[in-house]
Structure 1
């Protein structure tokens, strides 16, 4: 049973934060008010802003002596991230605020593991919350009225959020009795056949979590890896990399593969669907790409075939990340095609482009006892390739 950490700027929102603290305590939880204000100390906080700011790489001065408000908020967010990760008694985190505090607190929340309760009462929670939430289990609560004084509406909204945080801190769900290994698998429509076969091969003794490789899908998988909730990854579909490098709508972040590097868990990967960059409806494809080889996947998704030069960039990005992995790694190249539409008679069949991808990975590969590059003379959606993925997984995850 952990404590409810209530986080906000006491210099401007103390009454509201204090009300949330009282409500959480009345609900039976131990509540701690953490001040992240940058305008001076407040006597009502349980944790002073200076104590949080001291976690910044430059010390408290790196936060509290900033003259630019935006830089001060960013620095405090960095410090709060470290502060919360150091606290071993966090049962839930509740933030209150407007745009500045929402950005500050949710950045720190995103550094916490999936499963630890996180609620943000915010004036911007009814709009696009993707930048605040990302691939994390952050609950956004719209404040309805501004958090600028207590009234009949704000008391109700803040009180509900405080009771919710208290309830989650007091009643942690029991762990599942299912002790099968948890495996993350990445999939796209054009690699579904591969993943379906793989699930049939591995599902009996493992718990399989499939992630749609739409940018946030890969981020969600890696967040679960960082949170210790996946024991291995079979990264069939790395299509988010070309979207990152070439401006597609389903991009990875620069940290793609970072969780595998950090945690060193068993990793089997491939180059599924890197023959394409994803855009929206055909009329939304950037003008610079209008003359390229395009394929309308559906009314809202248009695919662009990657060229040999682009595949060289994709291969270089992937292999330099693979070379940094210190856990057990098998990376498989499907030499007869990387997606359902990269096959003879299909619109993206381009052996020359694929060979550039493969040769770039071969050339950049740094041999090591923990890593093997495996070439399979088969298409990615073939039964032979799915069986090779399963066999290599068994080799390193036994």
Structure 2
């Protein structure tokens, strides 16, 4: 087994060397990738900093001459990602360990995110106690807070780095004792307010012999599903909860970016899509909601999550976007509309019940959908068993028609 350590051997050589020694003492081979730009490495790495720079179509000499930290970080991030991808492809990488402050955390986690889900990835970082989304993204990157800065060895840093190294030993030398299914895989999206729909659909699909993976539609969840569709891990999509487009369009905190809904369309993956939770935009605690939204209708989901009702105007434009995305699909695609409510709190008697806003969404979708998209409307809410089973059965039909079942 080989652990690749990604770090700046010019400034953190002592600490990287210590981690290497712990790993090798446990019988694990080590490959050090040097991402340092400032000076000469304190020991000879297995992949030099110049080789990393060349992997990003530049040279270490050029980066030093420019003395532009931003350019250097970008180049070494790109180069490190290319290096670890190549090592993984050749079977010379079983896990990645990173050590560093903000600079190498950015570089090393960029490299980690270039690897498939399931490859062990552990970053010891001074940044691990703050906002880690930029480092983790939609991949299974593990972050360990270094507590003190990674600057020299002492009783604290030695213990933290040794723990990280031993954790990597455990991850790369122990094969999980789990049965890997070869059943076709269905990706599903869920929010708390669409949970009953997803649970009913999931149970039905699993009874038909599918494996299901449910993604929490919190921005990174949708992004992760899109990535796995492109990687071929997901064979069919039951996209119940497209709420991330409300955050993307209005300005909430759980957006998945402008490429959400593109992967299945471009790869021809069978997809059945609905409008789950498009009645809401997500923010943090109530006091965190931007002033520009004062006067809007809010629902306190919990002390950390504030929901804001989408307006008819916003829903109309969101509907246009989703219709355009689905109309570009190259594979079998259906859109299901729950005419009595798109979430638990959009049904009659609940806080976000707004027939006018829902009608604006549905009308925009009806108008914008191409002939390639099958549209199915039911006089139920999204969480009704009838609705959930109809979606699941339609996807099962598509999977069988395309030979993916």
**Other structure's SS at 1:295 match:** strand
Equivalence for 2:403: none
Q: Is the contact made by 1:238 and 1:271 (CA closer than 8 Å) also made in structure 2?
A: yes
Q: Is residue 126 from structure 1 mapped to residue 133 from structure 2 by the alignment?
A: no
Q: Report the Cα distance in structure 1 between the residues aligned to 2:66 and 2:177, rounded to whole angstroms.
A: 44
- How does 1:35-184 map onto structure 2 within 5 Å? 35-39=34-38, 42=41, 44-56=44-56, 58-60=57-59, 66-87=66-87, 88=89, 89=91, 90-173=93-176, 176-184=179-187
Q: Supply the distance in 1 between the matched residues of 2:324 and 2:9 (Cα, whole angstroms).
A: 45
Q: Distance in 2 between matches of 1:142 and 1:300?
A: 23
Residue in 2 that maps onto 1:240: 244
* Over 6 Å off, 4+ runs: none
- Cα distance in 2 between the residues matched to 1:151 and 1:302: 44
Deviation, 1:323, is 4.0
State the 1:283 CA deviation. Answer: 4.5
Alignment of 1:11-26 (within 5 A): 11-26=10-25
Q: 1:298 to 1:26 in 2, by over 3 A?
A: closer
User: 2:292 pairs with 288, 291, 296, which one?
Assistant: 288
Q: How does 1:161-240 map to 2 (within 5 A)?
A: 161-173=164-176, 176-204=179-207, 205-225=209-229, 228-240=232-244
Q: Deviations over 1:266-323 (max 9, x none)?
A: 3221111101212344454333322223334445443322122211332233234334
Residues 1:4 and 2:8 aligned together: no
For residues 262 and 160 of structure 1, the distance between their equivalents in structure 2, rounded to whole angstroms, comes to 43
Normalised TM-score (structure 1):
0.87
Cα gap change, 1:239 to 1:92, in 2 (>3 Å): same
Measured in 2, the distance between the counterparts of 1:55 and 1:63 equals 13
Question: Shift in Å at residue 146 of structure 1?
Answer: 2.3
Distance 1:80 1:262 in 2: 29
Partner residue, 1:375: 376
- Is residue 118–residue 137 contact of structure 1 (8 Å, CA) maintained in 2? yes
Instruction: Give matches, 1:234-313, under 5 Å.
Output: 234-260=238-264, 264-313=268-317
Question: Hey, what's the Cα distance between the residues in 2 that align with 1:193 and 1:174?
Answer: 31
Q: Give the aligned length.
A: 393
Superposition RMSD on alpha carbons, in Å?
Answer: 2.7
Q: Deviations over 1:163-195 (max 9, x none)?
A: 332332233335524433332221223222322
Change (3 A) 1:291 1:25: same
Does 2:341 align with 1:340? no
Residue of 298, 319, 326 corresponding to 1:322: 326
Farther off after superposition, 308-317 or 60-69: 60-69
Kindly state the Cα deviation for residue 261 of structure 1 after the two structures are TM-superposed: 5.0
Structure 1 gap segments, 5+ residues each = none
**Distance in structure 1 (CA, Å) of the matches to 2:327 and 2:40:** 47
Q: Distance in 2 between matches of 1:324 and 1:67?
A: 45
| Structure 2 unaligned regions, length at least 5 | 401-405
Measured in 1, the distance between the counterparts of 2:210 and 2:276 equals 22
